[in-house]
Structure 1
């Protein structure tokens, strides 16, 4: 019976129907391939790649790579993959993401080789690059996951920046008062949740425009934390003491080459990222809570019809998701081992918002985009230390350029939840 129903509901396409030509990926691959060829033409000498700290079981020596033949080999592979992508696009065939992913990986590796090519004493620290990229992605992952939960519920969360900042503030203060970084994590959760209460109050209960409320809350948190920093924390330095989370290495796993130091020699905050990402991906698409959340964001009237309390669900999800973003803010103080300072979230909330959009309101996509931005940020810092041929200002721009390119060019058409930003009842 089920099989016959599927056959009846199957949409039959005309015999002469052809898929539309999708040029976005081939064009992007062409640009990356041209850049790889440019790097091959302008390089010389050798590139030294360091794998120090890759494992505790044995030492991996530095790798000297002849930059010219390596980059030309990469160029050939990139051109071949790009040509195959164009061939499939013109033939109106589906294009696997492996084509674009392959050219993307080639571009990144070629860029690392080109950066240190022919420079005496310049070494590319591969393990440090990856470890730092994961660490810098922590607030972005928490922030983007917060945005996914809120917007899947129907509430636009522009206040991620404020949630991160207030989480960093309250986390640092709580940890200083109790001299315990783990209690500081609880303070960070509370800080983000407090901003979430205001967001839910104005958007869900008072039905105010979500964009305006988010912007105002960001400015409110920036003003409050700056005021408290200049008055209370300055007059009472014992309330802003550096209290850092220490790494918790997992035996055996921490020594797995490359994977171990990156994923299994981290602080509790990073391990909580794994739990949040995997748990939310499962819960959103495989539990009753996830179904109800998505129903409130897509068709709240239908959800109300079957007995789901739409506004109650939105309230709970917004506050819980905001607490998650506050936990991400703890990275700036407890995770990084720094005292609180003014506006230390530094726009990460808006990058997290972009990561959520690039990830198509899906937890695993948001995590992948956040890791990309974290890697780009850390790459910019490392390239300054190894003597990159690009100006230092360009390195500081790198994560934001990646954000613009990703949102404008690589994402394509995305559809937000249908009832996002719409009050209920309308």
Structure 2
């Protein structure tokens, strides 16, 4: 095995690219769960964002239009989940799984004409002074704009939940929807807004896969990324900073196993490919065994004003 062939600068840069789609989806899902809603349809929203974003970007020739369309499409899809669970009081777990199935089927249908096409390139951001640094410039400051958007989004969500009145109301709804309702807060409205935001973030994550990371459309290209995003929210104990760490750890394991394969590691390829998912499961089992959790009190529970 030739470890010398692994370039640490390219490795870190690749980790940032690999982690971004999962980070975008996970930070959106964290906000949804903070509002007391469990949406298991992240995978379906991501794949919908991937195909819509790719189709719009290829048609228009502008990848940024693709990102906007992806966010809008997945947000609208998430509202179907919102209407079913918040107004019709359907089971959140079953409805979320249904949303994933709908997203996978819809993406397969929409994506057929776009198979084999290349996405329009997205330009890298040049930050004067920082991008020209000898090592760290290429490693951290020569990426596309969506990587920096994802990092800013984490900071914005953290600040929103911690320091704003709206963030306090959202957390109150998630902790005890009956108490929040008694205080006069519109529980269903707050939850629908959170679901819409989570859908938009999942759409951006999916579009990042098809427009930057791959960059082409292939059926089923999310390959479980939505489920990993859900797991990372639990791993992070519903905290924005830990979501960032979790996404980058998963991105790091994913990129490292690819580099080890390229370096000729004496480990079965199937085991290396499965390692990011195995490590995620082990971490979740460890967290559960330790009893460390911070789940919102009303997570997954339906709310009805007459209760």
TM-score, length basis structure 2:
0.94
Counterpart of 1:354 in structure 2 is 231
Match of 1:212 in 2: 94
> 1:159 touches 1:218 (CA, 8 Å); kept in 2?
yes
Name the CA distance, whole Å, in 2 between partners of 1:306 and 1:189: 33
Indicate conservation of the 8 Å contact 2:48/2:70, yes or no.
Answer: yes
Displacement of 1:258 in angstroms is 4.2
- CA distance in structure 1 between the aligned counterparts of 2:265 and 2:287, rounded to whole angstroms: 26
Larger Rg: 1
Query: Relative contact order (alpha carbons < 8 A, sep ≥ 6): 1 or 2 greater?
Result: 2
1:229 CA displacement: 2.5
Q: Is the 8 A contact 1:150 1:314 kept in 2?
A: yes
Counterparts in 2 of 1:130-149, with a 5 A limit?
A: 130-149=12-31
Name the CA distance, whole Å, in 2 between partners of 1:155 and 1:263.
35
Pairing 1:417–2:296 present: yes
Kept in 2: contact 1:298–1:417 (CA 8 A): yes
Q: Does 1:192 align with 2:71?
A: no
Corresponding residue number in structure 2 for 1:107: none
Runs of 4+ residues over 3 Å off in structure 1: 255-259
Q: Distance in 2 between matches of 1:299 and 1:223?
A: 36
- Compared with structure 1, are the counterparts of its residues 389 and 410 closer, same or farther at alpha carbon in structure 2 (3 Å cutoff)? farther
Structure 1 residue runs without a partner (length 5+): 1-114
How is 1:229-308 mapped onto 2 (pairs within 5 angstroms)?
229-230=111-112, 232-233=113-114, 241-308=118-185
Listed one character per residue, the Cα deviations across residues 125-165 of structure 1 (whole Å, up to 9, x for unaligned) are 11111111111101110111111110101110211111111
User: SS of the counterpart of 1:290?
Assistant: helix
Cα separation, 2, equivalents of 1:207 and 1:405: 34
Give 1:329's aligned residue. Answer: 206
Deviations 1:308-365 (CA, angstroms, capped at 9, x unpaired): 1000110111011210111111111112252212111110000111111100011111
Structure 1 residue 410: Cα displacement? 4.7
1:127 aligns with 2:9: yes
How far did residue 296 of structure 1 move?
Answer: 0.7
Which range moved further: 404-413 or 136-145? 404-413
Q: CA RMSD in A?
A: 1.7
Say if 1:255 and 1:402 are closer, same or farther in 2 by CA, change over 3 A.
farther
